[in-house]
Structure 1
């Protein structure tokens, strides 16, 4: 994920200490029920599409922008799948970030899936029975989006 300019500006003031950030993930389905995934340039792994909102940007706007920027696919957000605060991550450069992810289920409405920026090595549509290897983060979001249940909030399933 490319680091937005506003975060580079913040880092020049706060250094590498913990930075709390919003994140938006988009689980995109086409009319055939396939899910859109990107093979990330930073990790080499397949995942759902996502990114950091620009200051003042709404989560749905972020999903639409990020999916188009990374894959050239146009989407319409349909609902909130989950909201979850992730554990802090220390990056190879020493920066520490903690993200609160809002995952949205989206429907593809146009465009042809292709690598559209330098954040992805590949992009593609996958049927649910032929998903590539995915980490728990992506798999959880896809499974919850397929279930189309109520929004899931971390820690609330015990209540």
Structure 2
């Protein structure tokens, strides 16, 4: 994930201390029911598309922007799939520590050919649900929830 300029500015005074940040992720489906995935440049693993909203940016707009910036696919947000604070902070190779509250949205592709569109992905592509590459639980859980017609998922076990 590229570091937004506003985070770079915060890091000047905050150093590597833990920052609690908003995040968005998008489970994007095409008309054939395939899901859009990107192979991340930072980890080499496949995942759904995500990023950090800019200050004042709404989660749905941020998800749509991130999908286009990373994959050249235009999409529309259909609904909130889940809201979850990730339990483990992330430590980046440079020592920066962050903990994210993720708002995941189900999106529908409306235009564009999937391709690597920035330096955050090594590959991007559409995958049938029954032929997904190896994914971490983060992405698998979000895809599963996006496939359901149920209400938005919230973690009600945490206190």
**Range into which the TM-score falls when normalised by the shorter chain:** over 0.9
* SS of residue in 2 equivalent to 1:12: helix
Q: Is the 1:26–1:103 Cα contact (8 Å) retained in structure 2?
A: yes
* SS of residue in 2 equivalent to 1:28: strand
Residue in 2 that maps onto 1:105: 106
Taking the aligned partners of 2:99 and 2:34, their CA distance within structure 1 comes to: 30
Taking the aligned partners of 1:58 and 1:136, their CA distance within structure 2 comes to: 26
* SS of residue in 1 equivalent to 2:61: helix
Task: Identify unmatched segments of 5+ residues in structure 2.
Answer: none
Residue in 1 that maps onto 2:26: 26
What TM-score, normalized to structure 1?
Answer: 0.96
Q: Is the 1:81–1:148 Cα contact (8 Å) retained in structure 2?
A: no
Residue in 2 that maps onto 1:67: 67
Taking the aligned partners of 1:8 and 1:29, their CA distance within structure 2 comes to: 33
1:78 equivalent in alignment to 2:69: no
Taking the aligned partners of 1:148 and 1:100, their CA distance within structure 2 comes to: 23
* SS of residue in 2 equivalent to 1:92: coil
What TM-score, normalized to structure 2?
Answer: 0.96
Taking the aligned partners of 1:120 and 1:92, their CA distance within structure 2 comes to: 17
Deviation at 1:155, TM superposition (A): 2.3
Residue in 2 that maps onto 1:135: 136
Taking the aligned partners of 2:31 and 2:149, their CA distance within structure 1 comes to: 15
Q: Is the 1:28–1:106 Cα contact (8 Å) retained in structure 2?
A: yes
Deviation per CA, 1:43-65: give whole Å up to 9, x if none. Answer: 00000001000011000110110
Q: How many residue pairs align between the two structures?
A: 157
Taking the aligned partners of 2:135 and 2:30, their CA distance within structure 1 comes to: 19
Task: Identify unmatched segments of 5+ residues in structure 1.
Answer: none
Deviation at 1:148, TM superposition (A): 2.6
